[in-house]
Chain A
């Protein structure tokens, strides 16, 4: 339905349900990060309710200026990714890649001031390859874009995020599902 401006105090069930049905994404779960954490595993967040997911980590800090790695379920093979980054101080572009690796390893980034990432996953629950798109910033050093695929046609219900060679403190990892039509 078109955008509607509500002016009464009571919403009809029809309007409410329509707006819920038209929402782009729904909250699934979140996990608060403690102190000096080496990994965060979130299980049972992928299901048949959604095909596509957004995962956001914000509000935390990282012990060193580093990125994050990610695996689906317990799978430690078949990860492909291409990282493109731009160094703020010079404008120079760079790249890195993973070719059939044990994880995606160039996701987001941060340091002792702040850290985080935004990840989109397509079809992790379906028994087909999972597409990954992520972006973030190595603080005042680099802007980064990371795209990849997990070339294993298996259904996964969860994932694990690991700050590479570092720990994270505070903040929240939140999982959203892109609503199906």
Chain B
């Protein structure tokens, strides 16, 4: 499986990091199943 990346931006410090998502974070990503996408 290809790695998935997330952006984490702190508005207070204006710092942004991009890192690989953890397994837990990947598991929490919503799937496309059931969305009203075009027929």
Given contacts A37-B6, A66-B32, A165-B32, contact A28 B11 (CB under 8 A): yes
Could you tell me how many residues of chain A have their Cβ less than 8 Å away from some Cβ of chain B?
41
Closest to A38 in B: B4
What's the dominant secondary structure at chain A's contact region? strand
B36 touches which of A32, A34, A85, A158 (Cβ 8 Å): A85
> B6-39 toward A: CB 8 Å interface, digit per residue (1/0)?
1111111110101001000110111111011110
Q: Are B11 and A175 interface neighbours, CB within 8 A?
A: yes
Chain B residues near A138 (CB-CB < 8 A): 37-38
Q: Are A41 and B6 interface neighbours, CB within 8 A?
A: yes
- With both chains docked as a complex, state the minimum distance between the C-beta of B37 and any C-beta of chain A, in angstroms: 6
A76 touches which of B4, B7, B26, B28 (Cβ 8 Å): B28
> A112 in the interface, Cβ–Cβ < 8 Å?
no
Q: Are B35 and A38 interface neighbours, CB within 8 A?
A: no
Chain B residues near A165 (CB-CB < 8 A): 30-33, 35
Could you tell me how many residues of chain B have their Cβ less than 8 Å away from some Cβ of chain A?
26
A39 touches which of B11, B14, B21 (Cβ 8 Å): B21
Closest to B36 in A: A96
Q: Which of A16-24, A42-50, A147-155 makes up part of the contact surface?
A: A42-50
Q: Are B35 and A31 interface neighbours, CB within 8 A?
A: no
Given contacts A69-B30, A103-B30, contact A83 B21 (CB under 8 A): no
- With both chains docked as a complex, state the minimum distance between the C-beta of A131 and any C-beta of chain B, in angstroms: 21
Given contacts A142-B38, A165-B32, contact A36 B9 (CB under 8 A): no
Interface, chain A (partner B; CB < 8 A): 28-29, 31-34, 36-45, 64-67, 69, 76, 83, 85, 87, 94, 96, 102-103, 105-106, 138, 141-142, 158, 162, 164-167, 175
Interface, chain B (partner A; CB < 8 A): 4-14, 16, 18, 21, 25-26, 28-33, 35-38
13 residue pairs from A and B, CB less than 8 Å apart: A29-B9, A32-B16, A33-B7, A34-B18, A40-B9, A41-B9, A43-B11, A67-B35, A67-B37, A142-B36, A158-B11, A165-B33, A175-B11
